Amino acid sequence: MYYDELLRLCGFEPEEIEEERPRIEKAFEKLELTPEDIDRGEERVRQYFDIELNGVRKMLGLWVKCLIDLALAREERKKIIYSSFPAFTPLTNAMAMVSEDIFVAAPEIILVHTVGMIFGKLPSLLEVAEGDLLQRGLANCSLLQTMLGGITKGVIPVPDLIVPSGVLCDQAPELDELIGRIYGVPVAYLDSVVDEMGENWPQTSERRVKYLAQETNGVLAKFEEVTGYTVTEDISQEANWRYINLLLGGNQVLELVKNADPAPISYVDIGTMFRLTRFSSTTTIFGDVGGMIDLLYGELKERIGRGEGILPKGAPGVSIIMSPTEPSIVKMIEESGLVVRVDANATTEAESAPSKHKDFWERAGESFLRKGVCYCGLGFATQLKQICKEWDLDGAILNYQLSCRGFSIAPLKAKELITKELGIPVLVLECEASDIRDYSAEAMRTRVETFAEVLKAAKAAKAK
């Protein structure tokens, strides 16, 4: 069939394609993916991803499987739960583990990694949302536009329960409330406050930790009311251990490539792995992700041993705030001669201290609230500086999403801290993580290339 080669590039085995063919065709029809879209997807996979590595192929395939499961969730599952991004992952993982009859996902994350990242067709959803509730030109979040567009267009199902995260974003709960009223869907709010004293980062106040735990228990009560299933502490613990194992596996890969010179892999691929292990809470992800990460680790170790890399040895290393799901942006940064080493999702040593809380949800909540973007503006800026310090980077590209409340506050303060305390150059870059209609790679290329020359000159001078 016309899609077989694309699926093969995404790590599907021939017998797997045959077995899943009825589901694949039903999902692709529902998603309105045409032969032209499949051809474009095949071209983008070959252009942007390191498909010489089987681990990369398998991870792309898992995103496609998530998309198929999402499209068919109404037909195949009894209940559908949507969480907004960024989700409180221990909670969404626990809900996803209760029963295979329940489908739990942050649908926008799946859509931007497939309809957007692979097929290059995200505007088809954004434009629907812009004609509905989230108009263009008003700094509306592209992730929320993606979810709304998917529901309005009918390519993804209306859920049975929405769990919006109000930890750092006010627009997500507002939109979810509107969707709930329009479609008659109950909404269980997970609220918090981002008002810590920045100089205290990463120490989290008791009131925030206990409040998030209280909110979590309220969500679980609503979840039980809607689904009939109870999330026990045993289920929560098991889900959390699986999640931790994924995090540890991803961190091992990141640690492996941290100081590898030349860099053995593009951050397009590392970012895809990062988001797969950290943000996508579905029963699909709880499959053999660990095996894929182990496979990628082994392949990269062999590549490092052979001295192979994507750029010449000695290329300057930089951090970014967010790894865009649109792969052309990171590729453009690398084409300028810079190695993207890490993004703001990395865990610093300062955040890794064990929790003193005994309650499971308080421990999980404290870890979640330590992240700079969930802390306060100064806390986030301090975290970004700490990443640059721990990774011994040559510079930083603070690419912030204009439409994101959480990510647009800290960059200017972070630039001040990084340049004054670490003495390395910083480029603050307004961007979009998924929607490139106004923020394409080419629109940013001149600024990035100029910054790259500054870093190369600074590194050469330092080496003398």
Among candidates 334, 319, 317, 320, which has minimal Cα distance to 400? 320
And the tokens for 424? 């390395």
Helices (H), 192-232: 206-227
Please tell me the distance from the alpha carbon of residue 337 to that of residue 318, in angstroms, as a whole number: 11
Burial of 177 (0-12, 13-18, 19+ CB in 10 A): middle
Which residues fall within 8 angstroms of residue 373, CB to CB, at 6 or more apart? 86, 168, 344, 380, 383, 406, 407, 410
> Domain map of the chain by residue range?
3-234
Query: Which letter does DSSP use for residue 163 in this model?
Result: E
What was the pLDDT predicted at 366? 95
pLDDT score at 247: 83
Instruction: Look at residue 281 in the predicted model and tell me its pLDDT.
Output: 60
**Residue 398 near residue 429, CB atoms below 8 Å:** yes
> pTM of this prediction?
0.95
Q: Show Cβ contacts of residue 180 under 8 Å, excluding neighbours closer than 6 positions.
A: 162, 186, 187
Question: What are the b/e assignments for 191-227, b being 16+ CB within 10 Å?
Answer: ebebebebeebbebeeebbbbbbebbeebbeebeebb
Report DSSP letters for 261-307, one per residue. SS--S-HHHHHHHHHHHHT--STTTTTTHHHHHHHHHHHHHHHHHTT
Contact predicate 321/399, CB 8 Å: yes
Q: Which residues of the chain have pLDDT under 50?
A: none
The predicted structure's pLDDT at residue 195: 85
* Helix or strand run (H / E) with residue 79: strand 79-83
Q: What is the pLDDT of residue 283?
A: 65
Core vs surface per residue 136-147: b (16+ CB within 10 A) or e: eeeebbbbbbbb
Instruction: Choose among 81, 71, 56, 62: nearest CA to 16.
Output: 62
Strands 395-401 and 102-105: unpaired
pLDDT score for 85: 80
